[in-house]
Structure 1
């Protein structure tokens, strides 16, 4: 698995950035330190000026890669979902038992994240924390419909589509497969958030994880 992923470039929609940050050391530093800074101060208080101080570069140099911090958040979100998509593709590819395949897919989308040594400038654990806390800010905007038309959310939508296909393999007659797939994807982020910040609003904890919850919820739903 790791050997396969080490040869794969995570692909983010080109319209999100002005210059691909993966093509230069400065670009990779922008991504690395933006993850650290957003995690530290939150997206609302994150600015390119603060990021410039962290990477010891002019603020203007960051604008050569991204036209706004919103586009940078879209980049981080797209990178994360592309990374999840590759795991879905590889870890479920050779599973022939449909129930086992669905359980693995749910696990991948809902589990706590481990750091992936294949991408040294991206801390996936920290990025996952940002996605849990900030992902909705990438699409809860007035521009969401146009950005959707422009393909900014294509990777995120592919993850849900993959889950949808696996659900339909289990139960081809289930009428709400897309709703169920998107509920798994978004609901997992929400349960992780509640587990970390509103413990009295969820049964999930370190022992009873979001993965456990969604696996039981989905299997019980599809078996009815």
Structure 2
């Protein structure tokens, strides 16, 4: 575990981009301002032309990093889930009690994010809002099977597996840990979206209620 922590960094599958945006100031600027612009106008209205105007560059310069805006969205969601994975591993590696570890893992996976000063070119709060609103658009496509083979969703699947292993530590006999965790994480996104836009669809008025709801749901389900 110490080796994992010492080598851990935000990793995004290289198949998702044409040029690693982390490798240059322009690439980091593209990531920074794409988050701000998508948060402001939504993914449907977001274009590389608008982004280029925002960063005072050319549309062609953006295309050197990403083939299209779908790939950019997949990159952003991968970055977010890799960051959540980092927080999960870092926060739980010294916890011996399996139930306590699982509860903390669920809290990290379901709570709306706070800004992390470690990554100055990424506004994690706004990126979290984009994941809430747009994550499903990254995989609900005709190309999902091919993209899955190319590892587009490996980060999210790895996060699900980490939490599923925590469930197995609490109850090795529980038969559906991955199904439960993937339902919880995506359900938390829907609950956060409903809280902001469709409040009559949720009873959770704040993050504390949301986190507690999913902790209770998971622990009651696995301790049948």
TM-score after normalising by structure 2: 0.95
Q: Over residues 36-57 of structure 1, what are the superposed CA-to-partner deviations in whole Å (9 max), with x where a residue is unaligned? A: 0000110010000000000000
Corresponding position of 2:65: 65
Equivalent runs, 1:6-25 vs 2, <5 Å? 8-25=8-25
Equivalent runs, 1:79-90 vs 2, <5 Å? 79-90=79-90
Q: Over residues 116-162 of structure 1, what are the superposed CA-to-partner deviations in whole Å (9 max), with x where a residue is unaligned? A: 00011100000000000000000000000000001010001000000
Q: 1:169 to 1:7 in 2, by over 3 A?
A: closer
1:183 shift after superposition: 1.0
1:9 shift after superposition: 3.1
Q: Over residues 87-117 of structure 1, what are the superposed CA-to-partner deviations in whole Å (9 max), with x where a residue is unaligned? A: 1111111100111001000000001211000
Task: State the secondary structure of the residue aligned to 1:45.
Answer: coil
Query: Is the 1:5–1:118 Cα contact (8 Å) retained in structure 2?
Result: no
Instruction: Determine the C-alpha separation between the residues in 1 that align with 2:118 and 2:222.
Output: 36
Corresponding position of 1:209: 209
Corresponding position of 1:109: 109
Task: State the secondary structure of the residue aligned to 1:132.
Answer: helix
Instruction: Determine the C-alpha separation between the residues in 2 that align with 1:127 and 1:5.
Output: 23
Q: Over residues 181-203 of structure 1, what are the superposed CA-to-partner deviations in whole Å (9 max), with x where a residue is unaligned? A: 10111111111111111111111
Equivalent runs, 1:3-152 vs 2, <5 Å? 8-152=8-152
Instruction: Determine the C-alpha separation between the residues in 2 that align with 1:157 and 1:34.
Output: 24
TM-score after normalising by structure 1: 0.95
Query: Is the 2:20–2:27 Cα contact (8 Å) retained in structure 1?
Result: yes
1:7 shift after superposition: 8.2
Instruction: Determine the C-alpha separation between the residues in 2 that align with 1:205 and 1:186.
Output: 18
Deviates more, 1:179-188 or 1:63-72: 179-188
Equivalent runs, 1:195-206 vs 2, <5 Å? 195-206=195-206
Q: 1:22 to 1:164 in 2, by over 3 A?
A: same
